[in-house]
Amino acid sequence: MFGRRVTLIDTPGFDDTTKSDTEILKMIASYLADAYRVNKKLSGVIYMHRISDFKMGGISKRNFGMFRSLCGEKTLQNVVIVTNMWGEVSEERGVARENELANDNALFKPVLEKGAQMVRHHNTYQSGQEILRRLVDNHPLPLQIQHEIVDEHKQVQQTVAGAELESKAIEEAKRQQEEEVRKHREAMEAVIRAQEEQRAREVEQARREQEAAEARAREEHERQLAQQAEDRRQEEERMQQIQRALEAEAAARRAEEERIQRIREEENRRAWEAEEERERHRREVERLRNERNDDCVIF
Mind giving me the DSSP string for 142-207? --HHHIIIIIS---GGGSHHHHHHHHHHHHHHHHHHHHHHHHHHHHHHHHHHHHHHHHHHHHHHHH
Residue 56 has pLDDT above 80, yes or no: no
Q: How far is CA 196 from CA 14, 182, 200, in A?
A: 45, 20, 6
End-to-end CA distance of the chain: 188
Q: Which of 50-54, 162-166, 174-178, 200-204 has the lowest mean pLDDT?
A: 162-166
* Percent of the chain predicted with pLDDT > 70: 96
pLDDT for residue 224? 92
Residue 120 in domain: yes
DSSP letter (8 states) at residue 42: B
How confident is the model over 79-95, as a mean pLDDT? 92
Give pLDDT, residue 2: 63
Does some domain include residue 96?
yes
Which whole number is the average pLDDT over 225-242? 91
Domain membership of residue 239 (yes or no) is no
pLDDT band at 96, cuts 50/70/90?
very high
Alpha helices in the chain (DSSP H): 21-37, 58-71, 91-103, 109-113, 125-136, 144-146, 160-292
Residue 72 forms part of a structural domain: yes
pLDDT band with cut points at 50, 70 and 90 for residue 17: low
pLDDT band for position 195 (cuts 50, 70, 90): very high
Structural domain includes residue 92: yes
Determine the Cα–Cα distance for residues 111 and 107; give it in Å rounded to an integer.
9
Domain that holds residue 71: 21-158
pLDDT for 55 beyond 80: no
pLDDT for 295 beyond 80 = no
Percentage above 90 pLDDT, the chain: 41
Looking at residue 297, what is its pLDDT?
A: 47
One-letter amino acid at 229 equals A
Query: How many domains, the chain?
Result: 1
In a domain, 212, yes or no: no
The confidence score (pLDDT) of residue 208 equals: 92
Does residue 118 lie within any of the structural domains? yes
Instruction: Examine the pLDDT at 112 and tell me if it is beyond 90.
Output: yes
Is 193 a member of any domain? no
Question: Which domain CATH number covers 69?
Answer: 3.40.50
Contact 47, 80 (CB under 8 A): yes
- In this predicted structure, the answer to whether residue 120 has a pLDDT above a threshold of 90 is yes
